Structure 1
């Protein structure tokens, strides 16, 4: 029995080492194959740029292509992760993604990377993802594997975008952003009024941002919004949806208005008048007093209903 245990103790680490070496060798061969194919079929830069700009003419992509958020009193905007993915796919010969390297109690270690297989330019970012999130001022811990996976994917999206944009030429990215803006402002068949109404509805349903809060930020009524204002709403919505900013970064929540002293005094007077009216009505119903004409008639010897000239 002891010999069997000793044998298993000796063999299991060897088997683990062999499996690890096999996996490493297989991954290395896959990388070599990708590099070989990239060298055999290099990208056509002009054709890749045309494909990227054609993709940016799609309305569905243009609506989620740009994010915007405030920082230090200024506004920062740029291509979203969705646009970065489309650029990488159409640029060609790029390997990119997010990998979970290690999962420890309460946290995961992950890596976002983008690798141009033709030029051998590589960007990667290693980061730690806590298995928790903050909601309504409280820290909630994640235990479901699916929730942990989604948390790693969401946190890795911003790093992945940075990696992709780090290896794509800047002028290509700028051209894609401008093409998306043209799509949003020029190729819309739905009336601007209806689009703005849908945007206001989406803000209220998803982030509880009212029309008054939006109008307060822009400084004028929604009826006066232009195409550029609508584009700005889309950027803010994408920023909130991607977690790049919070509602408080963009909008001021309405404070509860306290009634003024004059309003309080008026309300108190109204209450006093109401009490006095009720009291007078009760006295009138309980004891009916004669009016001045009836008293004068009795003093002159006339009964009610008799006139002095009869």
Structure 2
């Protein structure tokens, strides 16, 4: 027996019964805008030599180079890469690139938004897009999540998630060699630092800046693989400037990047065993009165006492 194909076809999505005048005008305007952009891109194609020159000039600026990279910790491993500002600057220099992020649907009852990020090279007609779901939840470093109810918090959460997808879409339509050249130039600019200050002065300025954030020199030296500050290089200062910018943008906190050093029970026991026998005997027979302590002194977080 032959069954009609319509019997197995999914039901069609209901079409809107009424389209207002404003919606119709906006649809026509969007179509005309896309057609005009394609025509202009074909009439004025990009000049790759000029694009490279614009890219080199842009990423030679220290303010842009520092904002081109991010760094944060996921678990115990650091995660780093290029920011959305880096991708947008590449698209601007390459020219004839359209990109954007759209919120397709918001479901407050389910606590999620459906979004789309896309990038389009108008000359080559190469287009990359991705559709993804963003939960209305803010995850903490402890592993838990908090439901977002404030519309402003939901908007900022969607924007942050959309920016990461948009960055990858822009990278998808750009040549890899163009991106790698820009990254190399930006890294060199960050390492050189801003201005013509000598290296020692830049080290001192860096230490003073992080001390204002509550970070000690010892914590900075431990972050730089235990190297003392007098042996820091331009690369060390460049990485610290990227960390500072990531802290300013809220991608990582000071406590996450520079955890407080705590003395363990094993370290206290080892220190006690290393004391001379006479001193230990005196401590064992000393009465625990006012002003005395039953435990060896230990470094407390944020204090200047030594163990």
Q: Normalised by the size of structure 2, how large is the TM-score?
A: 0.71
In structure 1, the residue matched to 2:238 is 231
Aligned positions of 1:23-172 closer than 5 A: 23-68=26-71, 77-105=80-108, 106-135=111-140, 137=142, 138-172=144-178
Distance between the aligned counterparts of 1:273 and 1:50, measured in 2?
75
Are residue 271 (structure 1) and residue 287 (structure 2) matched?
yes
CA distance in 2, matches of 1:268, 1:255: 25
Q: 1:239 to 1:107 in 2, by over 3 A?
A: same
Distance in 1, matches of 2:59 and 2:160, equals 23
Change (3 A) 1:125 1:273: closer
Instruction: Flag the 1:21–1:219 CA change in 2: closer, same or farther, 3 A.
Output: same
Q: Supply the distance in 1 between the matched residues of 2:148 and 2:282 (Cα, whole angstroms).
A: 54
Q: 1:267 to 1:85 in 2, by over 3 A?
A: farther
Q: Which runs of 5+ in 2 are unaligned?
A: 1-15, 292-307
In 2 relative to 1, CA 228–136 (structure 1 residues): closer, same or farther, beyond 3 Å?
closer
For the pair 1:222 / 2:225, whether they are aligned, the reply is no
Q: Alignment RMSD, CA only?
A: 3.5
- Say whether the 8 Å CA contact 1:123–1:167 is kept in structure 2: yes
Moved more, 208-217 or 30-39: 208-217
CA distance in 1, matches of 2:262, 2:48: 54
Shift of 1:36: 1.2
Give the structure with the higher percent helix: 1
Distance in 2 (CA, whole Å) between partners of 1:135 and 1:204 is: 26
Gaps of 5+ in 1: 1-12, 276-310
Name the CA distance, whole Å, in 2 between partners of 1:104 and 1:67.
31
1:31-75 deviation digits (Å, cap 9, x = unpaired): 111111111111111111111111111111112223356789987
Residues 243/125 of structure 1: CA separation in 2 closer, same or farther (3 Å cut)? farther
- Whole-angstrom distance in 2 between the partners of 1:274 and 1:26: 82
Are residues 39 and 68 of structure 1, via their aligned partners in 2, closer, same or farther at CA, if it must alter by over 3 Å? same
Matches within 5 A, 1:190-201: 190-201=197-208
Could you tell me how far 1:212 is from its partner in structure 2? Answer: 2.2
CA distances 1:274-304 after superposition (whole Å, capped 9, x unpaired): 99xxxxxxxxxxxxxxxxxxxxxxxxxxxxx
Give 1:282's aligned residue: none
Aligned-pair distance for 1:92?
0.7
Shift of 1:223: 2.3
Q: Aligned pair count?
A: 262
- Compute the TM-score of the two structures, normalised by the length of structure 1: 0.70
Query: SS of the counterpart of 2:106?
Result: strand
**Deviating more after overlay: 158-167 vs 64-73:** 64-73
Q: 1:254 aligns with which of 257, 261, 284?
A: 261
